[in-house]
Structure 1
Amino acid sequence: MRQQTHKRGRFTNKTVAIVAALALGGGGAAIIAANASAHGDKGDSGQNNTVAAKAGTIQCPDVGQKLSDVPEKARPKVDKNLAELDNQVAKAYQQMNQRQGSNDAVLSKLNDQRSRTMDNIGSAMGGDNSQLQGMTDCKWQEVATQSGQQQGDQQGGDQQGGQQQGGDQQGGQQGGDQQGGDQQGGDQQGGGDQGGEGANDVPGNAGGQAGNGPSQDDFVDITKVQPNVQQPPQAQQNGSTGTFATECGVGDPELRNSDNVIVAPGVGNGAHHTHDYVGNDSNDAFANNQTFEQGGTSCENQDDKSTYYWPVVRAQDGKDEADANDLGGGQEGNVGTILTPTSSKIEFKGNAQSKVTAMPKFLRIITGDAKAFTNGDANANASWSCTGFEDRQLTDKYPLCPEGSSVTRTFDFQSCWDGQNIDSANHRDHVAFAGEDGSCPNGFQAIPQLVNTITYDVPANTPFAVDGFPEQLHKPITDHDDFINVMSEDLMNEAVDCINSGKQCG
């Protein structure tokens, strides 16, 4: 297994909070209000509020991230069983949230199911269980939560030496200044009063209508965040400085689904959250390379049949979407009006140290980590910001934008390829991020770097959240993006020539 070189996108390490402290050190956590209903109590306003309660965490190792050596013929069965592990955690979360049996009973059943599924994975790999050691059992640990926020020493404690996202956050001071803004009794007033220039306020229902996030301290006034974007490395003599853009629209609502053909091929609802799709119009759990080759595309250049997809963003407005009663939607805590992006900018960029080589057709890349709240920030590469404030990028906070400014999500993809594989067992080892100087790790070569920036107009005074696995609590750090290259050979070569010659094309 190659050691993957990791890059923090375009922002400094200080922008990433130590989420392991939030997750109590484990993977696959489900934070459940044990003494409250899934939706909390409704006041006179009819808005759902988070109720102070004891909560807990299901700690499960993330098996999919650890697998590095899976025989090619075993991957379909392994992938289906990995998807079943996710399904088991999601169901356990739902059972605990709805108090369907004691937590101990639910956890015991989960571990029994998980053990059998792990045996199936080992069997698929020819009886080799060496990679699965120590990853069987999930554990339960109680934590305390408060209305609208986590306990001070859990979320507001010392993180990054007291500095988080460029704003001072004093340990345990959740009722005081956070990120330079006032947060009083569960109401975070957008970083304080700013007159006409102030960012949107977050109303008291920012706990999410489904009771599993986001929380009010997941938001920060972007005007109070200090600039944190590092300058890209200076291009060397052999560097490639061009860009190639492809215009593929903002996604057709009719194509949305909760599948993930990269991580869970052949498994319906493998993502447990809804994706937007641009590019190829045939992406679902059962698509394959031939399906993509024969599919249509939303891209203006019809030779780009690539598929670009990401979790939808929803306004936490109390309104039902079409999937309100479906798996991947309301049944799994993904609620509210889905926001259609105002734009999706797709660019391919060069490498500071070398020329780029063509991506192989059907290359699969995932950037970000849908389970980063519980896995830790090692693969948390997506970032949030506002138009006009692009020099301030956030990974573990949602931005509150001032009037006239739109919310942005930026995804910097891995730009180094191992030269052999279009995918890998954990969907990461075959690609890597370039180092701070732009160089690729030994054994890797530079390819065009996909950078996708998505923009939204979020209704004023309305909290929002990215779709995610139910146990991930809709944390912004779980944002991620997926890509499969289905450009024609001629178009890919055109992009490479453009980038290597320093031109701006597309």
Structure 2
Amino acid sequence: MNKTKFKIGSSKRAAAMMIALAVVSGTMVVEARKRRVVFAPPPAPAPAPDPRPEPVPAPAPAPAPAPAPAPAPAPAPSGSYDPMTVQLPDVPSNFDVNSELVKAWGTGAIPASALPDVVGAFRFICNASHLSYDDPIVYPGQPGKSHLHQYFGNTSADANSTYTSLRTTGSSTCNSPLNRSAYWMPAMMNGKGQVIKPDYVSVYYKRRPKTDPLCAKIGTACVDLPRGLRFVFGYNMLNTTAKPTGGGYFNCDGPGAIPGHYKDLPTAQANCPVTARVGAVISAPECWDGKNLDSADHRSHVAYSAYIGQAYAQCPTTHPYVIPTFTMGVWYSQGTAVEPWHLSSDVMANGTMMPAGTTFHADWFGAWDSSVMNMWASNCVNLLLNCSGGDLGNGKQLKMYSGFSWTANPRVVTAPGA
């Protein structure tokens, strides 16, 4: 109250006002006690929207003037559709899982963080497995129907392979039979009826951690690879006018190499002396529809993310589940002379020869031991670790199979049936 002069009778009026205020205040306190609410005098100015009850309905970060159709970040909000219900029943390994695990790097060390990268990484190395004219995805139950394939991973993969058969039979050239997945691509040919065997194959699985808020912006959520998933990626042999997927390219690495993303084999070999290796590199899709483990064209149930005006790539709304993708690099020595190579798929069914290497594609039929896949997904990927050499991110590592070599021996073999 400001101390201005009062006119006549001001002291009497002041006394009366004090008595009146005391009565009113006493009444308010009594009423407040009855309601068990602590009375607070109302703010002097008009009732501005400064709500007294603490629970504020909207979170506060920039109130968007719309009911928020996109739910807040989180992997699949409770009560929503769970895509993992479509995966096949688990088929446990028919051997002791622990017999195929060793202390990571002999010490049980935990890998370093992948930061500043935003994806967790799990890497391992494979050798070549067998050659076959089979394709259990495109031509299931039809042995000998496809072009010649070079297989990696499961040593028993053939035209009749299923998820169950892959999980229960065969060894693996990808570290350990804990990974009985089958990977395959067209065989590399030298034009003399012979196959060039790759020295080794590097496989690199990666994805953002499930807790990354961008999982809910790239798609609906980041999820694990479902059991039984399979797909084809790269050049589309069933629709040759379609744009190839997977960003496949050829590279060169080693002494005298001129590295690059070469679109065909002749260009890559021209920049790759005999002292270096030629690499065929391709990446699998990272978006899944959450409903199908395969599709009629063996591609439509999966997709690739793309930049559509955001600072990050987004999955199509039809394929909202972000799965770990993998990049496969297949590396070949050139021997004592550079020869004109081509892929077996470059020779079309009608005999037409496509430019060498331009039909590059690959197939994948997942058959990991579920407990081990959970290890690398939970640790390497979801904890944003930088795992290599089959390191599972928990102090354990896949045992490397007996007979692994960094160099193919023999390097050149006769094509089956030639």
TM range (shorter): 0.5 to 0.7
2:377 matched to 1:496? yes
1:304 aligns with one of 152, 174, 179: 179
Does structure 2 retain, via aligned residues, the 8 Å contact 1:365–1:428? Answer: yes
**Offset of 1:346 from its aligned partner?**
1.1
* Match 1:404 to one of 261, 275, 292: 275
Give 1:249's aligned residue: 127
Please give the TM-score of this superposition, normalised by the length of structure 1: 0.46
Distance change >3 Å, CA 266–CA 384, structure 1 → 2:
same
Distance 1:246 1:356, change over 3 A: farther
In the alignment, the residues of structure 2 paired with residue 445 and residue 357 of structure 1 have an alpha-carbon distance, to the nearest angstrom, of 6
**Aligned residue in 1 for 2:243:** 377
Output the amino acid matched with 1:383. Y
Partner residue, 2:166:
292
Q: Which residue of 1 aligns with 2:143?
A: 268
453, 459, 480: which is aligned to 2:361?
A: 480
Letter in 1 for 2:298: H
**Structure 1 unmatched ranges of 5 or more:** 1-234, 319-334
Mapping of residues 199-210 of structure 1, within 5 Å: none
1:349 aligned onto 2:206: yes
Aligned residue for 2:185, secondary structure, equals: strand
* Percent identity between the two aligned chains: 26
Q: Among residues 196, 205, 227, which one is paired with 1:361 in the alignment?
A: 227
Q: Counterpart of 1:450?
A: 326
Q: Distance in 1 between matches of 2:362 and 2:161?
A: 18
Shift of 1:403: 4.2
**1:256 Cα deviation after fit:** 1.4
Q: Distance between the aligned counterparts of 1:491 and 1:455, measured in 2? A: 27
Letter of the structure 2 residue corresponding to residue 281 of structure 1 = T
Root mean square deviation, CA, Å: 2.7
* Counterpart residue type for residue 181 of structure 2: S
Paired residues of 1:368 and 1:479 also in contact (CA < 8 A): yes
Query: Distance in 2 between the 1:426 and 1:295 partners?
Result: 27
Partner of 1:440: 315
Q: Which amino acid aligns with 2:123?
A: A
Q: How many residues align?
A: 249
**Closer/same/farther in 2, CA of residues 274 and 484 from structure 1, 3 Å limit:** same
Counterpart CA distance in 2 for 1:377 and 1:456 is 26
Q: Counterpart amino acid of 1:479?
A: F
Q: Per-residue CA shift, 1:383-440, capped at 9, x if unaligned?
A: 1111156862123453121342211000101011111211111111111112143322
Distance between the aligned counterparts of 2:238 and 2:246, measured in 1?
A: 6
Give the superposition deviation at 1:368. 0.8
| Alpha-carbon distance, 1:464 to partner | 0.8
TM-score (norm: length of structure 2): 0.55
Helix, strand or coil at the partner of 1:463: coil
* Partner of residue 19, structure 2: none
Task: Tell me the CA shift for residue 345 of structure 1.
Answer: 0.4
What residue identity is the alignment partner of 2:157? Answer: N
Q: Which has the higher contact order (CA 8 A, sep 6+)?
A: 2
CA drift at 1:350: 1.5
The residue aligned with 1:278 is 152
Distance 1:456 1:280 in 2: 20
Summarize the alignment of residues 320-335 of structure 1 with structure 2, pairs less than 5 Å apart.
335=193
Could you say what secondary structure the match of 2:358 adopts?
helix
Give the partner amino acid of 2:207: G
Q: CA 1:361–1:379 in 2, change beyond 3 Å: closer, same or farther?
A: same
Q: 1-side partners of 2:286 and 2:358: how far apart?
A: 21
Matched residue SS, 1:478: coil
Inter-partner Cα distance in structure 1 for 2:225 and 2:123: 15
Asked if the contact 1:349/1:450 (under 8 Å) is kept, the reply is yes
1:141-156 aligned at under 5 Å gives the runs none
Superposed, which structure 2 residues align to 1:11-26 within 5 Å? none
Q: Which residue of 2 aligns with 1:37?
A: none
Gap change, CA 1:357 and 1:472, over 3 Å in 2: farther
Q: 1:356 to 1:244 in 2, by over 3 A?
A: farther
More helix by share: 1
